[in-house]
Amino acid sequence: MTHYVELDVRPILAAGGEPFGRIMETVTSLGPDEGLRLLAPFRPVPLFAALGSKGFTHQDREIGGGDWEVLFTPAFAPAGTAGEMSAARWPGPLMHLDCRGLAPPEPMVKVLGAAEAMQQGEVMEVLLDREPSFLFPQLAERGHEWQGGFDPDGVSYRLLVRIGPAS
């Protein structure tokens, strides 16, 4: 289970400061089973790629008054809508897609098409050039679960998709 270290950057920004250094210090200090719970007065989209390249996935939600909570989780730990990463819920992938080098929206079209051909509970692995942020709402709408993050080299984004609604 991932434990989240909280960092509220709202006071830093309200005082006219720049929180990026503090965010990166916090991320560097995280242990192997720790993630970052970031509170910000806006949706910090540039951080998604910055921390994604360091092996973190993200889940964000507006918490009211224009403020946002973002959970940055080490890749392949519980994140997104994936819940627990147990072998029973997340068996080895039966399908492997390499969508690197494809221009958007081709990777999304390929992933969604492949998902339609799979059975509930099966898992597919997808390699991508970037985090597929436009794909996530499409997967959620179809009841699929996912896990993802950049490989340690920071070049390929590895996505696991579990087919079907959560049980």
User: Quick one: pLDDT at residue 103?
Assistant: 94
- Residue 166 above 60 pLDDT? no
Give the pLDDT band of residue 77 (cuts 50, 70, 90): very low
Q: Give 128-138 pLDDT, tens digit per residue.
A: 999 898 898 88
Mean pLDDT of 65-87: 66
User: Quick one: pLDDT at residue 13?
Assistant: 95
What are the DSSP calls for 54-66, one per residue? Answer: TTEEEEEEEEETT
Q: Do 80 and 136 meet the contact criterion of CB atoms below 8 Å apart?
A: yes
Give the pLDDT band of residue 67 (cuts 50, 70, 90): very high
Mean pLDDT of 17-25: 93
User: Quick one: pLDDT at residue 82?
Assistant: 38
- Residue 48 above 80 pLDDT? yes
- Rg value, the chain, Cα: 16
User: Quick one: pLDDT at residue 80?
Assistant: 40
List the CATH code of the domain at 3-74: 3.30.110.40
Superfamily (CATH H level) for 95-162: TusA-like domain (3.30.110.40)
Burial class (CB in 10 A: 0-12, 13-18, 19+), 18: exposed
- Residue 85 above 60 pLDDT? no
Average pLDDT over the chain, rounded to an integer: 85
- Residue 151 above 60 pLDDT? yes
User: Quick one: pLDDT at residue 115?
Assistant: 95
* Other Cβ atoms within 10 Å of 155 Cβ, number: 11
* Delimiting residues of CATH 3.30.110.40 domain(s) in the chain: 3-74, 95-162
Kindly give the residue spans of alpha helices, DSSP state H, lying in 20-130: 20-28, 45-52, 106-116
User: Quick one: pLDDT at residue 163?
Assistant: 93
pTM of the model: 0.52
How far apart CA 62 and CA 113 sit, in angstroms, is 31
- Residue 4 above 90 pLDDT? yes
- Residue 112 above 60 pLDDT? yes
